[in-house]
Structure 1
């Protein structure tokens, strides 16, 4: 099994006492955290190595900002932000917004910052009445929900489920601005094609010769030839669950097709089908672009049937292949799980190796998963360029999993949630802005910057590498608070600053400040001496405490917070080194 219990970073759920104490650990460059007194403290979110560098959100008049988006910069064409795409040259980020019926374009700076370039929407508004001409007027964009970029960077394709079509854009190589040049839809002003009802996902083959679309309502997979000189599409045919009255070829377990992933060599296409609870394997002929179904794995499939039975595959919503193409990851929305499959590059066959499921389902031993992460309703996922980290969007926000590239084992690293999310499973998460309804995720080409689209917050959030803190469980024998700081390699420059400890809602320091300086890739312990008043007032009077941790990155003027819990049982922590 890929995911072993001893490889999963445990998050121990501890009920807090009536009193809340906040611990603020601030730093000049990035800061880190925490712990406090008298003992057993379990903290999952401090090892993430991320800080929120910013967010943009569109405010809808007459409604309250959700998910902490009131602290975000105002944006446009972000209502129902569903999918996000980073260009291969690192210059741009694009967002598909199903509520605005739009695609929004952003320029990206060398340090990951975003600036709006404009938008194209189905009716020329930003999604709100009375905003005509806020966006360029486009076609086939109602319910825009998925994006794909051609390998040459010349075209962007948007799948729009309410339009049952595809919008085709040319991309300016110098600026990244988009101009719509065509569409595929069953109307006279667009190129026609069968099987596009509820178009939900789109992918471009690595050679740039073909585009494929998954259609949820049509239960179909549609193939197109792409003209590399213009980016325009020509239909090649479709495969559907029932053949669509002989308009398409007949497939197996294609009900609710909603996600796609193509192998790096372009020879195999994988399709997730939410209503069939399956992942399908198709072989691609690179000379024609045509597809042939070769396999099917299905949640608890019938014995000796046409599909292989697997676990934790109820409502698969997203697919991602490891960079080496040897592992396929599936986010299963209603299984609350990430399912892991080994892949044979020669045959395209996938074999289930294990799954990681939401921690609250630990009493369900029959699903075959390890239960160790806040994975309720995962919706999208992507991998870092080196394949060592998996980023997952879920109902709670953003979840981070580290992966052993040799064994494929997963280790729960941390999570980022939003202020309005009140589930116990996320009380140890970092708190960010604009993450309600996190639905789409993308990385910059280098993997340094993480972009999250959130449909309920109507927001696009940016996260950057930052110093992190690993969980520390106890005071030292000398009564000091041990804080382990780490500066990630992706930070690109040393981490340095000051760590301080303050009580929530107050400005007075509750420990002597401590300076630190770390090279990238380096970790060290610093030790804070708490003031006697903090111990006497809180630790001795209460059995357990809840602590609010704030991590501030001064480079990006950003702050993220997290709640942690501790009990009053003294256990010795790390010893302070002798000078």
Structure 2
């Protein structure tokens, strides 16, 4: 894996200066591979870039379309629903729309996407956003307090949002023509952790303070990283209605074996501070980043039932050993997991390591093995890793749909307000 040209807030670190990328939280690639969008916490913004498919290089869109922001940034367009920082974003499978979460707006902002230019335009009122707050031009919704992670079903029919403050999973129907979101009626529209019930919502286990989530490619499951529960909360999805229900006990969730037990769930290793979750395209394996435990946990998934079974675990070699897990380089405070489209590689961003760890995946078993030597990780300054730029405190990452590139975002959380976007070219 080699580092392609990168972008940073101020042009430092050998990168090109970019607008709206401070404290990057997550990144998404359009299905056609033509554009890349990044989420900025500090600027409450979504930055837009064109992507050159052959080499993966990015070029930021020109003013006033360099980004959309809840604030006021030269070169960007002001919108609503992104207040308090954008933690996640998703492009619809048909490429027509982009959705982004606004943490203190308690909202999901909705945008149409121009297929050629990549320009984002917020939908007209009352569909500018859905919110649990009060925002002009937006529709009311339940369970979006502290809106954080977002995922879209593979058929594009439904949008799922994990909200940290509400400890909830909100479910919306998506109009494929207009992009408008409508929350499902009754308890089908919202699920909350059993410890934090919300009137009108169903309850579930392992859903306390969730960060990110992922819908399976077969459309039958949704998995949520319950950070406060130290767990992966499992849901079976009804492809027709979009409604989700948890598997029966003891398979409602898997929780960290060294943490507080959760009734109706199964204990597993490597889930302390479950931050991010990703499902392989074949639907047979789920991977979770344990931020507080410096771990990457792997689970086999039964596609028929959605039930998870622990199959492996890795921990950072410089951190406290975790029983039953394999020592791995550059895995301190993992924050993101991406599986290559062909299912043969897994990439993990590690915040404290300032690195991306790289694994080979056995498609038959789902088990991971770190790539040998310096091919096992890329970092600004980790002995044994390939040296790369634009990798300080990485957070979100994603693989392009053609499998050629991995895009990583991050930034400095120590007060300087730095931010960057880096493209990594994959060596298969």
Fold match (TM-score > 0.5): yes
**CA distance in 1: counterparts of 2:345 and 2:370, whole angstroms:** 10
Deviations 1:422-449 (A, max 9, x none): xxxx212222212111011122211111
**Residue 399 in 1 paired to residue 345 in 2?**
no
Gaps of 5+ in 2: 413-417
Deviations 1:210-231 (A, max 9, x none): 1110001100010111111101
**Cα 1:302–1:85 shift into 2, 3 Å:** closer
**Cα 1:120–1:339 shift into 2, 3 Å:** same
* C-alpha RMSD of matched pairs (Å): 1.7
**CA distance in 2: counterparts of 1:188 and 1:384, whole angstroms:** 38
**Residue 170 in 1 paired to residue 112 in 2?**
yes
Aligned residue number for residue 427 of structure 1:
383
**CA distance in 2: counterparts of 1:280 and 1:322, whole angstroms:** 17
**3-state SS in 2 of match to 1:330:** strand
Aligned residue number for residue 201 of structure 2:
248
**Residue 187 in 1 paired to residue 134 in 2?**
yes
Q: 1:421-570 maps to which residues of 2 (within 5 A)?
A: 426-456=382-412, 457-465=418-426, 488=427
**CA distance in 1: counterparts of 2:261 and 2:406, whole angstroms:** 42
**3-state SS in 2 of match to 1:317:** strand
**Residue 159 in 1 paired to residue 101 in 2?**
yes
Aligned residue number for residue 40 of structure 2:
97
Contact 2:205 2:262 in 1 (8 A): no
Displacement after TM superposition at 1:384 (Å): 1.0
**CA distance in 2: counterparts of 1:95 and 1:178, whole angstroms:** 12
Displacement after TM superposition at 1:114 (Å): 0.9
Higher gyration radius (CA): 1
Q: List structure 1 runs of 4+ shifted beyond 4 angstroms.
A: 301-304
TM-score by length of 1: 0.66
**Cα 1:274–1:303 shift into 2, 3 Å:** closer
**Residue 332 in 1 paired to residue 290 in 2?**
yes
**CA distance in 2: counterparts of 1:83 and 1:206, whole angstroms:** 19
Contact 1:141 1:160 in 2 (8 A): yes
**3-state SS in 2 of match to 1:401:** strand
Q: Return the match for 1:375 from 331, 347, 354.
A: 331
**3-state SS in 1 of match to 2:288:** strand
Contact 1:340 1:353 in 2 (8 A): yes
**Residue 70 in 1 paired to residue 13 in 2?**
yes
Q: Return the match for 1:416 from 378, 395, 418.
A: 378
299-308 or 207-216, which deviates more: 299-308
**Residue 81 in 1 paired to residue 81 in 2?**
no
**CA distance in 2: counterparts of 1:303 and 1:398, whole angstroms:** 31
**Residue 316 in 1 paired to residue 274 in 2?**
yes
**CA distance in 2: counterparts of 1:391 and 1:96, whole angstroms:** 19
**Cα 1:448–1:304 shift into 2, 3 Å:** closer
**Residue 114 in 1 paired to residue 58 in 2?**
yes
Contact 2:233 2:254 in 1 (8 A): yes
**Cα 1:323–1:162 shift into 2, 3 Å:** same
**Cα 1:245–1:379 shift into 2, 3 Å:** closer
Aligned residue number for residue 6 of structure 2:
55
**CA distance in 2: counterparts of 1:254 and 1:215, whole angstroms:** 10
Contact 1:91 1:108 in 2 (8 A): yes
Displacement after TM superposition at 1:247 (Å): 3.2
**Cα 1:290–1:74 shift into 2, 3 Å:** same
Displacement after TM superposition at 1:82 (Å): 1.1
**CA distance in 2: counterparts of 1:202 and 1:249, whole angstroms:** 19
Aligned residue number for residue 517 of structure 1:
none
**CA distance in 2: counterparts of 1:394 and 1:376, whole angstroms:** 5
**3-state SS in 2 of match to 1:286:** coil
Aligned residue number for residue 238 of structure 1:
190
**CA distance in 2: counterparts of 1:55 and 1:302, whole angstroms:** 42
**CA distance in 2: counterparts of 1:304 and 1:84, whole angstroms:** 32
Contact 1:302 1:309 in 2 (8 A): no
Aligned residue number for residue 282 of structure 1:
235
Q: 1:253-272 maps to which residues of 2 (within 5 A)?
A: 253-272=206-225
**Cα 1:326–1:154 shift into 2, 3 Å:** same
TM-score by length of 2: 0.89
**CA distance in 2: counterparts of 1:299 and 1:353, whole angstroms:** 14
Displacement after TM superposition at 1:355 (Å): 0.2
Matched residue count: 395
Displacement after TM superposition at 1:304 (Å): 9.2
**CA distance in 2: counterparts of 1:172 and 1:404, whole angstroms:** 38
171-180 or 182-191, which deviates more: 182-191
**CA distance in 2: counterparts of 1:398 and 1:284, whole angstroms:** 32
**3-state SS in 2 of match to 1:187:** coil
Contact 1:356 1:373 in 2 (8 A): no
